[in-house]
Chain A
Amino acid sequence: MAVDVAMSAGHGHGEDARKRRTRSAAEIGVYAFLFFAFAEVAIHLATLALNHQSGVTLAVSEAVATSFSRPDIVDRNGRLLATDLEAPSIYVDPGVVLDRDELVEKLATVLPDIDQKELLRSISDRSRRFIWVRRGVSPKIAQEVHDLGLPGLSFRYELKRAYPSRKLAGHVLGSVNVDNRGLTGIEKYIDDKVGVDPVHSAVLSSRAPVRLSLDIGIQHALEDELITGEKLYRSNGAAGLVLNIKTGEVLASSSIPRVDPAWPTQALDKKHMDRMTVGTYELGSVFKTLTIAMALDEGIAKPDTMIDVRQPLQVGRFKVTDFHSANRPLSVTEVFTHSSNIGAGMLALQAGTDKLTSFLGKFGLLTQLRTEEGAVSPPQLPKNWGRAETITAAYGHGIAVAPLQFAAAAATILNNGKPVHPTFLRKFDSNASDEKPIISPLTSREMAHLLRLNVTAPDGTGHKADVPGYRVGGKTGTADLPKAGGYSSKSVISSFLGAFPMDDPQYLTFVVLFEPKGTKGTHGQHTAGYTAAPVTGRLIARIAGQLGVAPMTVAATE
């Protein structure tokens, strides 16, 4: 029994020992597992610590200016006119600057136009941690500043507006300020209507591009011809546009001298203002287009109605005479092609002031026009419309309008009387508007015929605008410029209202030359027939093909 007990005790002892060994093996396994698990954690932590790149943190005690990302601007065919680019901006942290004088002096070697005194004063204030030195510099300048190796100078990447086509359509595009907010033109329209996004770094806009009605090929041709005309006739500036009569889309609009949208201050100079929209002018005889249209539409006269223009019209102390005196009665057609002031004045008198003002009002010439480019200058109208004002307005004096506003009115006449609302945005819906015509389609066709006749007739004032094959029509306007006590016949505004093809007018051009001078080629004449008309002819010869207008020889066979 004792042996059994001893045996069983010995057996129990051995079992315990086996159990202990098993337990210690399990413990070792657990510890090993835990060791490797924590070793793995330690390795991961070490890897993270080694690979982790600490982001540059900017400790600022004052608000950093917010910039704005803007959508691109493209022409009607998607060609780029304006875009945002990432550009470095330089700032200084006065708390880190070691030698203020050295910093300012060395910085001035790269940026000679900085205000050294102002910068020195700013960085002397150690409580500030962020002061702009220059925003939106080129990468080259940024590298040069970086190479100075000055402590305290740092860079921040911001968006900067770029205009790849430089001065092309500068007036239409407008400009932005240093924070990338629109100030003028289409850029302002984008801020107001399309939308811009506030950003704290150089994040490009995800908005769809703003597609303009402009065609940069047509725009270039217009600007090139205006610059050539300005040089040729030594004029004091020029302006012009090309308008799609059917849709109201402005295909090109320019004012010479042009502005560079990258330099917003340039546009503030009066010489650089957009004369198509900002300036208002007495446009002279081109206004007869409206007077004659009124006479025909109101049934006051027909194209063959004869008017006695042999005697000057007395207006107060002044006499209204004709530049090309006919010394015989003229038909309404001839009043237009001879550009008779007396004839136009008599037709306006016959209609009366109320009908004339009501007619001009229907064409929107008595109220302010607005486009996406901004508000067009309001027309300057006579304070009291009397007999004298009615006569002078008939041939474009005493009433001053922006050329764009006049062009829209003229386009309405050629659009079968349907109102044309000029727009700088591409229209994708080309369906004709269902607005009620202001004048009858018959009057529209008669006016198209008169405009064509003014270019084709040997005694027409616009024959220098003709381009064989393209059926050009148009009207000249030579307006004396106001001077103290009256008007100067030596300084004129010479303009030409053109349209083509006149069998179904599609495009309208309006060219204005300010104070052109006569040349040998013009026999010393500075009137529109010798200056603005040939500029228009050259322009149409250049753009008609681009616009898909087939010359007559081709069109006749199709």
Chain B
Amino acid sequence: MRLLNVAAFFFAISSALLLYGLNYDTRRLEAEVHAKERIAERARDDIAVLKAERGTLARPDRIDTIARQIGLAPPRVDQFVDGREVSLNEQQDRPNGR
């Protein structure tokens, strides 16, 4: 009987400790989740800033100015050629024997 009491006592203590450990682990995991969420939130903020910066850098008036500085311009009508004509010209230009 006494052995049973002792066993029950140990079982109760073990259960309490197990529960405490689980509770502690849960809280630790919760804290980890919050920390990860904070990291994700910061990453989202950084992505938003980067997206805005990319939008600013890629704005058409800026690209237009840079493109013109290096000698580019909107395409002229004579720059459009039918693809079949291009391949035909290439065949005609190709020397014999190749």
Q: Please, how many residues of chain A have a CB less than 8 angstroms from a CB on the other chain?
A: 43
Q: Is the CB of B48 within 8 A of A83?
A: yes
Selected contact of A85 from candidates B49, B60, B64, CB within 8 Å: B49
Stretch at the interface among A301-309, A466-474, A507-515: A466-474
A97 vs chain B, min Cβ distance (A)? 30
**Which residues of chain B are near A224, meaning CB under 8 Å?**
61, 64
Check if A85 sits within 8 Å of B52, measured CB to CB.
yes
Q: Which A residues are CB-close (under 8 A) to B53?
A: 164
Which B residues lie within 8 Å of A217 (CB)?
60
Beyond A168-B59, A545-B75, whether A204 also contacts B48 by CB under 8 A is yes
Bound-state CA distance A551–B77 (Å) is 6
Q: Is the interface of B mostly helix, strand, loop or mixed?
A: helix
CA distance A83 to B54 in the complex (A): 12
Q: Does B51 contact A (CB under 8 A)?
A: yes
* A469-B77 contact in complex given A79-B58, A80-B54, A83-B55, C-beta closer than 8 Å: yes
Q: Are A470 and B85 interface neighbours, CB within 8 A?
A: no
Q: Give bound CA distance, A219 to B64, whole Å.
A: 13
Cα of A220 to Cα of B53 in the assembled complex, Å: 18
Question: B9, B17, B45, B80 — which one has the most chain A CB atoms within 10 A of its CB?
Answer: B80
Cα distance A542–B76 when bound, in Å?
A: 8
Chain A interface, DSSP helix/strand/loop, else mixed: mixed
**Bound Cα distance A551, B59 (Å):** 27
Chain A residues near B9 (CB-CB < 8 A): 30
User: Which segment, of A33-41, A187-195, A381-389, faces chain B?
Assistant: A33-41
Bound CA–CA A553/B83 (angstroms): 12
A58 in the interface, Cβ–Cβ < 8 Å?
no
Give chain B residues whose Cβ lies under 8 Å from the Cβ of A455: none
B82 adjacent to chain A (CB < 8 Å): yes
Residue on B nearest A223 in the bound complex, by CB: B61
Please judge, given known A-B contacts A44-B24, A80-B51, whether A553 and B45 are in contact too, CB under 8 Å. Answer: no
Docked complex: B54-98 residues within 8 A CB-CB of A? 54-56, 58-61, 64, 74-77, 80-82, 84-85
A220 touches B60 (CB 8 A): yes
Residues of B within 8 A of A202 (CB): 45
B36 proximal to A (CB < 8 A): no
Q: Tell me, rounded to whole Å, the shortest Cβ–Cβ distance linking B26 to chain A.
A: 13
Is there contact, CB below 8 Å, between A26 and B74? no
Instruction: Assess whether A162 is in contact with B52, with CB atoms less than 8 Å apart.
Output: yes
The chain B residues found within 8 Å of chain A, CB to CB, are 6, 9-10, 13, 17, 20, 24, 41, 44-45, 48-49, 51-56, 58-61, 64, 74-77, 80-82, 84-85
Offer 24 A-B interface pairs, CB within 8 angstroms, sorted by A: A30-B9, A33-B10, A34-B13, A41-B20, A79-B58, A80-B55, A83-B55, A85-B48, A86-B48, A86-B49, A164-B52, A165-B59, A168-B59, A216-B60, A219-B60, A220-B64, A221-B60, A221-B74, A541-B77, A542-B74, A545-B75, A550-B80, A551-B77, A553-B82
